[in-house]
Amino acid sequence: MHFKKILTIFLAAVLTFSSLTVFCVGAEEPEGLEVEVEAESTASAISSQPMIYNAGEEIKVTLRIGRNTGVTSVMLYIDYDETVLELIEYTAAGLLTEDDSLTAYSTSKGDAYLAFYSENYPNVSCATGVLAEITFQAKAVCAADTFVQVSLFQNNEGLCTLWDENDKKMKPVPFSSENAHFSVHSIDAGEGVVTAPTCQEGGYTTYVCRACKETVIGNLTGATGHTAGEAVEENRVEPTCTEDGSYDSVVYCTVCESEISRETVIIGAVGHTAGEAVEENRVEPTCTEDGSYDSVVYCTVCESEISRETITIGAVGHDLHDVIAKAPTCTEAGWNAYQACRREGCGYSTYQELPASGHRFGEPTVYEPNYHQEGYSVHTCIVCAYEERYDFVPALELLPGDVNGDGKITQTDYLLLKRAILKLSPLPEEFAAAGDFDGDGKTTAADYLLLKRYILFGEVDASSLE
């Protein structure tokens, strides 16, 4: 870490305020103090743009007040890199107060102080200009970027103040600064290689430091600017019937041939040339509605549509013919004699529907349900013989063990089942499934033995079985 010497400038306007108040702030100017740090171009400078000094030479740095709204006190310090710069001399100007007395001294550590005291308060100076001048000597070292910078002492914002007449006390105001940056090398000014400026790029001098061998760029100059030639035409687009044309009027530099300016010049559209009208979008008239077509005019040059007019064609009326009458039936509607238009797609007629008369049914016949078929009622139309079934009753369910189908389980059922098991006589086909008394899907001796157990308790009505 490099130790930095601090040049402390104590600027204190010690004022006793009376009824006299000095105003330095403009309507739009912010309060505060701004100090600029400038490394001046002297005979020892190799380059002023950017600033380059030779090692061992003196460097003059000026502190300049750029904006001052009448600060009453300020304490600043200047920071610099002591490994590159050595403080030789400093002087200060009395800008902040009138009739200033100056006391300057230094400590044994080499720190320098400047103290200002006003002898003419309460007048506060709003002066701008040179605050102090400092002379440094560049040491025999190389530095690509060294600095001299100024800031409030210890960055204490309370050290830059302004008298507040309303509150009758000092108030802190902003402080700002622009610092100086430059480089130090060992350069022979006569050995620089000069690059001349061009139309678009600035010139400069290239040096090589004898000590660090680094390439150093200095003496920057601005570009010379272009030399305009006569305007030429480019990118011509011919106009059409409806759209403008254009071309670019371009100016080039006669030295480097770079484009300086380009202006687009408009050429007005030429307009359409009308042809003969043609027919489009014809819609034929119907019996009741008009037809139409578009009469269209196109441009003979670009074929764009210029105008379109719709022409109406009157309706043609109906072409009627007679349709004979038809009587309605039980299920189908009929109609009286009427007229209808023959033209396809018209659909006009005087048709009036006669509703269907519906069926006329006679007395119903009732069919009771059995074990194989559901029961129902049926009646028949006396006009067209149409038959209609209704009032359906589900087919009877077989009672397990009731092999004679009488709705009860009795000894007769047992005897019939036993004869069937012994293959003496088969069960009636419609009741054979009732022989599977135990519900195992087949009729065996186990079924009639189980049936016999039920019969021992007497006759059992089918509805009482669980």
Segment 15-26 shows an average pLDDT of 41
**Alpha-carbon distances, residue 359 vs 123, 379, 388, 462 (angstroms):** 127, 10, 10, 43
96-110, 137-151, 193-207, 417-431: which range is least confident on average? 96-110
User: 463 or 135: which carries more pLDDT confidence?
Assistant: 135
**Distance of alpha carbon 414 from alpha carbon 412, whole angstroms:** 5
DSSP 425: S
**Distance of alpha carbon 207 from alpha carbon 214, whole angstroms:** 8
User: 73 or 82: which carries more pLDDT confidence?
Assistant: 82
**Alpha-carbon distances, residue 329 vs 288, 334, 351, 388 (angstroms):** 35, 7, 17, 17
Residue 73 has pLDDT above 70, yes or no: yes
Residue 335 has pLDDT above 60, yes or no: yes
340-357 residue pLDDT tens? 999 998 989 999 999 998
166-219 residue pLDDT tens? 888 888 989 898 988 989 999 887 888 999 999 999 999 999 999 999 999 888
Q: How many other β-carbons are positioned within 10 Å of the β-carbon of residue 409?
A: 25
- Residue 42 is predicted with a pLDDT of 66
**Alpha-carbon distances, residue 110 vs 151, 181, 268, 341, 432 (angstroms):** 20, 23, 81, 125, 136
Residue 307 has pLDDT above 60, yes or no: yes
Residue 1 has pLDDT above 60, yes or no: no
Segment 29-48 shows an average pLDDT of 79
Residue 49 has pLDDT above 80, yes or no: no
DSSP 9: E
The label of the residue with tokens 């009639």 reads 448
Segment 108-131 shows an average pLDDT of 58
The percent of residues in the chain predicted with pLDDT above 90, rounded, is: 38
- Strands, E, within 238-298: which ranges? 245-252, 259-267, 278-283, 291-298
- Residue 26 is predicted with a pLDDT of 52
> pLDDT band for position 151 (50/70/90)?
confident
Segment 305-315 shows an average pLDDT of 95
Give the architecture (CATH level 2) of 6-185: Sandwich (2.60)
Residue 121 has pLDDT above 50, yes or no: no
> pLDDT band for position 10 (50/70/90)?
very low
- Residue 240 is predicted with a pLDDT of 94
Segment 1-18 shows an average pLDDT of 39
- Residue 411 is predicted with a pLDDT of 83
- Residue 322 is predicted with a pLDDT of 93
| Top CATH class, 408-464 | mainly alpha
- Residue 237 is predicted with a pLDDT of 96
> 253: burial class by Cβ within 10 Å (0-12, 13-18, 19+)?
middle
- Residue 164 is predicted with a pLDDT of 78
- Ramachandran angles phi, psi of 438, nearest 5°: -90, 0
Segment 436-446 shows an average pLDDT of 81
Intra-chain end-to-end CA distance of the chain, in Å: 110
416: left (phi over 0), alpha (psi -120 to 50) or beta: alpha
> pLDDT band for position 442 (50/70/90)?
confident
Beta strand 232-237 with 334-335 is: unpaired
Rg (CA), the chain: 61
Q: What is the mean pLDDT of the chain?
A: 82
Residue 48 has pLDDT above 50, yes or no: yes
> 26: burial class by Cβ within 10 Å (0-12, 13-18, 19+)?
exposed
Return the structure tokens found at 20.
């006299």
222-276 residue pLDDT tens? 999 999 999 999 999 999 999 999 999 999 999 999 999 999 999 999 999 999 9
- Residue 225 is predicted with a pLDDT of 93
58-62, 324-328, 396-400, 422-426: which range is least confident on average? 396-400
Residue 2 has pLDDT above 50, yes or no: no
Segment 346-373 shows an average pLDDT of 89
Nearest to 374 by CA among 358, 390, 356, 357: 390
Residue 66 has pLDDT above 60, yes or no: yes
142-156, 339-353, 401-415: which range is least confident on average? 401-415
Segment 374-402 shows an average pLDDT of 87
Q: Is the pTM of this model over 0.75?
A: no
274-289 residue pLDDT tens? 999 999 999 999 999 9
The percent of residues in the chain predicted with pLDDT above 70, rounded, is: 84
Residue span(s) of the chain under CATH 2.60.40.680 come to 6-185
